Amino acid sequence: MIYRVVFSSDAEKQLNKLDKSVRVQIIDYLKTRIEGSTNPRMLGNAMTGDFKGSWRYKVGKYRVICDFKDNICVVQVIKVGHRKNVYDLGGNDMRKKIIAANWKMNMTPAEAARFAGELVPLVDVPEVDVVICAPFVLFGAVWVNAEGTTVALGAQNMHYEDKGAFTGEISADMLSAVQVSHVIIGHSERRQYFNETDCTVNKKVKKALSAGIAPIMCCGESLLQREMGITIEHIRMQIKLGLLDVSAGDAAKVVIAYEPIWAIGTGVTATTAQAEEACAAIRQVLTEIYDKSTADKIRIQYGGSVTPANAAELFAQPNIDGALVGGASLSLDFAKIVEAAK
């Protein structure tokens, strides 16, 4: 198929301000994105190839958006800024739903760039806060697509010390310097495989908050604990210890993720009633630690085998304010889950 490349009038204006080489870079980029063609041909402002959807590409301080439709590729160039105020930690408005992707240890930078290029335009929405929690080395691949959109960048872990001899660790300031606005803390996989405890979770939560990063603090019971009937006691303890010495003002910036361990990656979702019961218990303990007004501001996510099929019902519960999504965040199913939260 032949596509004519049309620069929007605003794009022309922006491009005129830029170095001439930028235009060449954009065209080169378009060529690299042609699918199914090893030898894409440029004919003046036309190109051949199998294009789809919308691509985003960053050149210096500018974001280039290419929309392919009816044989025309419309190119827009937009000046981009830093983290948007959707990540302004003071600004949680009426518990806006927050859907976070936890990519865990998946994808190479090339795969992540391609996937984020497809995903971000679908979840760049004002109604829902969307966070992509990527492995450290994939931040660039995510950010190149997410910068200038409503989609936030998150990490899956961080250390609680500022700096020093902590081989293999990443500090809060390092994350903040690369536009990370959220960090998952105390995921059950980190507790299980990397010896994280409520004490380290608490230190990390406080450090993240002091660096202006919103912690997504995880809690949840094992199957044994559920069978023993101590689910609520266990979660209450995790919340109390995780938030020890965190002020009410700071607590309002924390997102809590309730993830029953037996529901993670198993395809077994907690029933809506089980999920709501646990999330309501979390809000109750938050009320006891702080007060009702603080507890009412804190967003509580459910996580564990969330899919497009069960998302809407979970989000309809009064105490479930979003989801932390593992497996389904590695495909465009994630966009359907975000859609269900609108």
Catalytic positions: 187, 259
Number of residues that bind ligand 13P (CB under 6 A): 14
* 99 sits near ligand 13P (criterion: CB under 6 A): no
**Residue 264 is a binding residue for ligand 13P (CB under 6 A):** yes
User: Which region among 13-21, 30-38, 52-60, 322-330 touches ligand 13P (by CB under 6 A)?
Assistant: 322-330
Q: Which is nearer to ligand 13P, 286 or 328 (CB)?
A: 328
Binders of ligand 13P among residues 232 to 261 (CB under 6 A) are 259
Using rule CB under 6 A, residue 301 touches ligand 13P: no
CB of 69 to ligand 13P, least distance (A): 34
225 binds ligand 13P (CB under 6 A): no
Minimum separation from the CB atom of position 176 to ligand 13P (A) = 22
337 binds ligand 13P, rule: CB under 6 A:
no
Q: Show the tokens assigned to 93.
A: 């408005």
From the CB of 104, what's the least distance to ligand 13P, in Å?
7
> Could you tell me which of 52, 55, 56, 57 has the C-alpha nearest to residue 69?
52
C-alpha to C-alpha distance for 115 and 310, rounded to whole angstroms: 23
Nearer to ligand 13P, 102 or 200 (CB): 102
List the alpha helices (DSSP H) in the chain: 9-17, 20-32, 109-123, 139-146, 172-177, 188-193, 198-210, 223-228, 231-242, 248-251, 272-289, 292-297, 308-315, 333-340
Q: Which of 26, 107, 183, 324 binds ligand 13P (CB under 6 A)?
A: 324
Name which of residues 9 to 48 contact ligand 13P (CB under 6 A). Answer: none
Name the phi and psi angles at 326, rounded to 5.
-95, -95
Q: Are 181 and 131 in contact (CB under 8 A)?
A: yes
Q: From 25-33, 162-170, 195-203, 297-305, give the range in contact with ligand 13P by CB under 6 A.
A: 297-305
User: Closest CB to ligand 13P among 49 and 322?
Assistant: 322
Contact in structure between 185 and 208 (CB atoms under 8 Å) = yes
231-242 and 198-210 helices, crossing angle to 10°: 40
> Which H, E and C letters describe 296-325, residue by residue?
HHCEEEEECCCCHHHHHHHHCCCCCCEEEE
Among 304, 315, 320, 335, binds ligand 13P (CB under 6 A): 304
Chosen residue from 5, 326, 335, 341 binding ligand 13P by CB under 6 A: 326
Contact between 303 and ligand 13P by CB under 6 A: the answer reads yes
d(CA 138, CA 78): 23
> Which residue shows structure tokens 């995780």?
242
Among 243, 320, 325, 341, binds ligand 13P (CB under 6 A): 325
| Cα dist from 184 to 103, 157, 227, 257, 283, whole Å | 11, 6, 27, 9, 19
Residues that bind ligand 13P (CB under 6 A): 102, 187, 259, 264-265, 303-306, 324-328
